[in-house]
Chain A
């Protein structure tokens, strides 16, 4: 990945995060209560900031936008994403199993059952998506 494209992705991630905190701060300063609506405001502000930066970037530097598009459609990039996805899936299963056993060890049913639920959900999604892609490919 070129350094300009890397900078692009890093700046978007940073702006998304910044927007989240600004949104949260504005909502609290305006007297909003904690909870779901604050989260909604944070995500909304994050999305607005992200979209604005996308629009400005597309106008200012169309070449970079083109490079990002190529990067996103690049077959090697997709291959890498697939491999990283499989690795992440396996790692998450291991992490959930560890949490499950830690929960069981400390006799915390909520944690162990929660982790077991996540393992089950992840496996169900995996099986359904495998079935879907088998019918498609």
Chain B
């Protein structure tokens, strides 16, 4: 799953550390999310979307795998 978290965060001018603090997660979690290494739980995805006042789909882009999974 791709996401626009880094782009949105940069537009808002928020540091990874600050976003992590607001969302009650570690800075590494934010970094991993931005690098696409980690997919968030639905709860964290909602928290992120709410914080940026956006819909989840605007931040997280779901892509179906080639084998249909």
Contacts and interface: CB of A to CB of B under 8 A. Distances in A.
Chain A bound to chain B = yes
Interface of A: 1-2, 70-71, 73-77, 79
Contacts of A1: 26, 28
B28 A76 contact: yes
B29 interface: yes
27 contacts: A1-B26, A1-B28, A2-B26, A2-B27, A70-B20, A70-B24, A70-B25, A70-B26, A71-B26, A73-B24, A74-B25, A74-B26, A74-B28, A75-B25, A75-B29, A75-B40, A75-B41, A75-B43, A75-B44, A76-B25, A76-B26, A76-B28, A76-B29, A76-B32, A76-B38, A77-B29, A79-B38
A74 B47 CA distance: 14
Interface residues of B, number: 14
Nearest to A5: B26
B contact patch SS: helix
Interface of B: 20-21, 24-29, 32, 38, 40-41, 43-44
Contacts of B26: 1-2, 70-71, 74, 76-77
Please indicate which of the listed interface residues B24, B26, B32 has the most CB atoms of chain A within 10 Å of its own CB.
B26
A71 B28 CA distance: 10
A105 B38 CA distance: 45
What are the 5 closest A-B residue pairs judged by CB atoms, nearest first?
A: A76-B29, A74-B26, A74-B25, A75-B41, A76-B38
A76 B20 CA distance: 12
A70 B26 CA distance: 6
Contacts of A71: 26
A49 B20 CA distance: 32
A79 B29 CA distance: 11
Contacts of B24: 70, 73
